[in-house]
Amino acid sequence: MPPLYQKIADDLREKIRRGELRAGDRLPTEPQLQEQYGVSRNTVRLATAQLVNEGLVESIPGRSGGIFVRERITLTFHASRAEFPTGAYAETDAWRSEVADQGHEASQEFDLRIEALPAELAQRLGVEVDSHAAVRRCVRFVNGQASSVQDTYYPMDLCQRVTELLSPRDVPQGTTRLLASRGYEQVAYEDEILARMPTPAEAQLLDLPPGTPVLLYIRTGFTNERAVRVSVTSFAGDRNRLAYTLGDSAVIGRFRDREEEPH
Amino acid sequence: MPPLYQKIADDLREKIRRGELRAGDRLPTEPQLQEQYGVSRNTVRLATAQLVNEGLVESIPGRSGGIFVRERITLTFHASRAEFPTGAYAETDAWRSEVADQGHEASQEFDLRIEALPAELAQRLGVEVDSHAAVRRCVRFVNGQASSVQDTYYPMDLCQRVTELLSPRDVPQGTTRLLASRGYEQVAYEDEILARMPTPAEAQLLDLPPGTPVLLYIRTGFTNERAVRVSVTSFAGDRNRLAYTLGDSAVIGRFRDREEEPH
DNA sequence: GAGTGGTCTAGACCACTAA
DNA sequence: TAGTGGTCTAGACCACTCC
């Protein structure tokens, strides 16, 4: 026999799944749930806490507050399209236009810092573990809400040869083209993708409700001679999707007539 | 001023981060934490519940139980290598040998069912929404623990032409080769990747502790004529990583000397 | 038997915000 | 002002499992 709070959570989850409670709807208040299920307030709170942790609902305090079924929009980031020379735009513009294509408003904020390179990133860049790097951070906003944060690490020796990398502003033509024009053309990328719960810093920056994972996307870029940069992107897991196209992409275009909902 | 339980959680999290508490270590017991911080048991439990939800610790009841710092091993699944004709093995063998290369023991279980095709998958396959599909399920185990579950959906009309797809057993040469040998060579794949909290069914199947997301990996396979299958893989988010290689992979091989820890 | 975490109650005070 | 969720206390009984 499952515990009471579990049964209450199951019941509410089922109501959401069946559409009896829909995105944006308010659940019964805590006193109402106490009465409906004949339990104490703490038990009700154990149930709703579970739904919050699953990312299904969100609780908002105050007179007009309550517990609400969360809604979600999902953006698709086409990782296999980004940053290849065939692209007509800089990578940031590619992102911007991709968001616009999906019917939303895009903006981004840059900054630059110099930092000691974390060991696992130094390894990817093939440089010494105690070396430093220029970190270009790009926080991307969709409809005014932070959606992802990307930190791109460039080894310092490279920055000394391509000093524009140390500009605290966006590089108009894009850093990929900038590097290519200086003889550092990236010919291969290695991407790694993980899912985990956010750090408190990520949760704050991306305004993630409890129970929302981040999709972590790590791209290492290589010229024929060396690794030139590694970028670490944290996507808000409830609002983003990554996409890759492998093989003959013309085939896929022929069959695409969708922009479907997440699974 | 953050609430008390928040400060306790922050304190414990920081001890874990600094290495004062390491993977496998036991946290102080609830009565000990009550005394240390001078709070009630419920407050202690609010703090530890938060760490559990972040996936940092795991609580085990019983006389020899306690709250333990979780350890994690991370496997890498090379999505861009899998299932291309250059591969010497069937995809399941490729997975098996990849796990073995990473120093672990691999096993898997198959079953087959016939199911109505969920709308979002019918769309990917370009078939009618009320049609059925053969679903081949493969649960993959690493060191005896379920690590991922993959459901591959084949439209029924295809199964009628390639009846081996309806076998409830593993297909020895792999379904990709089987299909290719019958004139359905997959020439392109479209991959989608999402992160979300598990459904209760996934949490049970993958034995996921609270606070562990799943990494969802959806691959649609295309021949020159049509989409022939879509597979949906749920990876336990705390134990898996996806990898893609884009561009000239020989370049990357030249620089690879790692099998590093997750970020 | 004794100590662990799991569940549950009853009641209190708080901050916030629309009415 | 009244109602929402957020925090916190004190105490109870339970199941489980090593000693």
Which nucleotide is closest, CA of A41 to its C1'? C9
Q: Are A180 and B161 in contact (CB under 8 A)?
A: no
3-state helix, strand, coil in chain B (%, to 5): 30, 30, 35
Label residue A67 by pLDDT band (50, 70, 90).
very high
What's the whole-number mean pLDDT along residues B131-155? Answer: 91
* pLDDT, tens only, B200-210: 788 888 878 77
Inter-chain contact A197–B216, Cβ cutoff 8 Å? no
Residue nearest to nucleotide D8 (CA to C1'): B43
A241 touches chain B (CB under 8 A): yes
Q: Which of residues 110-149 of A touch B (CB under 8 A)?
A: 120-121, 123-124, 126
Q: Are A240 and A215 in contact (CB under 8 A)?
A: yes
DSSP annotation of A232 reads E
* Lowest model confidence (mean pLDDT) among A38-52, A95-109, A215-229: A95-109
Tell me which of B86 and A154 has the higher pLDDT: A154
Inter-chain contact B123–A55, Cβ cutoff 8 Å? no
Cβ within 8 Å of residue B88, ≥6 positions away: none
Q: How many residues in chain B? A: 263
The candidate with the shortest Cα–Cα distance to A139, out of A111, A104, A117, is: A111
Which nucleotide is closest, CA of A64 to its C1'? C18
A221 touches chain B (CB under 8 A): no
pLDDT at B263: 47
The two beta strands, B240-247 and B75-78, are parallel
Cβ within 8 Å of residue B175, ≥6 positions away: B90, B91, B136, B152, B165, B229
Q: How many CB atoms lie within 10 A of CB A117?
A: 23
Q: Residue A54: which of B187, B197, B251 has the nearest Cβ?
A: B197
A104 touches chain B (CB under 8 A): no
How far away is chain A from the Cα of B93, in angstroms, using its nearest Cα?
21
Q: Are B180 and B218 in contact (CB under 8 A)?
A: no
Between CA B200 and CA B208 the distance in angstroms is 9
| Domain residue ranges of chain A, discontinuous segments joined by + | 4-69, 75-257
* pLDDT, tens only, A8-38: 999 999 898 888 898 889 999 999 999 899 9
pLDDT at residue B90 tops 70: no
Percentage of residues in chain A with pLDDT exceeding 90? 44
DSSP E strand boundaries for chain A: 57-60, 66-69, 75-78, 106-116, 132-142, 145-155, 188-196, 214-222, 227-236, 240-247
**Average pLDDT of chain A, as a whole number:** 86
pLDDT at B222: 93
**Average pLDDT of chain B, as a whole number:** 86
Residues pairing with A66 in the sheet: A60
Q: Are B206 and B146 in contact (CB under 8 A)?
A: yes
* pLDDT, tens only, B144-203: 778 999 999 999 999 999 999 998 888 888 899 899 999 999 999 999 999 988 887 888
Label residue B71 by pLDDT band (50, 70, 90).
confident
A194 touches chain B (CB under 8 A): yes
CA distances B91 to A252, B82, B175, Å, are 22, 6, 8
pLDDT at residue B113 tops 60: yes
pLDDT at B95: 82
Tell me which of B85 and B19 has the higher pLDDT: B19
Which nucleotide is closest, CA of B67 to its C1'? C5
Between CA B172 and CA B178 the distance in angstroms is 9
* pLDDT, tens only, A233-252: 999 988 899 999 988 777 77
H or E segment to which residue B118 belongs: none
Query: Tell me, in Å, how far CA of B64 is from C1' of D16?
Result: 10
pLDDT at A84: 64
CATH number of B75-257: 3.40.1410.10
Tokens in use for B163? Answer: 């009846």
Half-sphere exposure of A57 (CA within 13 A, CB side): 27
Between CA A249 and CA B191 the distance in angstroms is 12
A263 touches chain B (CB under 8 A): yes
Tokens in use for A245? Answer: 């196209």
Inter-chain contact A192–B243, Cβ cutoff 8 Å? yes
Half-sphere exposure of B66 (CA within 13 A, CB side): 12
B1 Cβ within 7 A of any nucleic strand D atom: no
**CATH class assigned to B4-69:** mainly alpha
Token pair 């991407």 is found at: A191
Query: Tell me, in Å, how far CA of B42 is from C1' of C10?
Result: 14
Tokens in use for A24? Answer: 């944006």
CA A200 to chain centre: 15
pLDDT at residue A161 tops 60: yes
Q: Are A110 and A137 in contact (CB under 8 A)?
A: yes
Inter-chain contact A53–B255, Cβ cutoff 8 Å? no
B49 touches chain A (CB under 8 A): yes
Q: How many contacts, defined by CB atoms under 8 Å, are there between A and B?
A: 188
CA A148 to chain centre: 4
Inter-chain contact B258–A123, Cβ cutoff 8 Å? yes
B253 touches chain A (CB under 8 A): no
pLDDT at A208: 83
Label residue B261 by pLDDT band (50, 70, 90).
very low
pLDDT at residue B86 tops 80: no
Phi, psi of A253 (to 5 degrees): -55, -35
* pLDDT, tens only, A73-110: 778 888 877 666 555 566 677 788 888 888 888 989 99
End-to-end CA distance of chain A: 31
Inter-chain contact A213–B197, Cβ cutoff 8 Å? yes
What's the whole-number mean pLDDT along residues A133-153? Answer: 91
Interface test with A, best of B52, B212, B255, B259 (most A CBs within 10 A): B255
Q: How many CB atoms lie within 10 A of CB A184?
A: 21
DSSP annotation of B197 reads P
Q: How many CB atoms lie within 10 A of CB B145?
A: 12
Label residue A216 by pLDDT band (50, 70, 90).
very high
Between residue 18 and residue 57 of chain A, the positions with Cβ below 7 Å from nucleic chain D are 27, 29-31, 41-42, 45
Inter-chain contact B213–A197, Cβ cutoff 8 Å? yes
B237 touches chain A (CB under 8 A): yes
Label residue B258 by pLDDT band (50, 70, 90).
very low
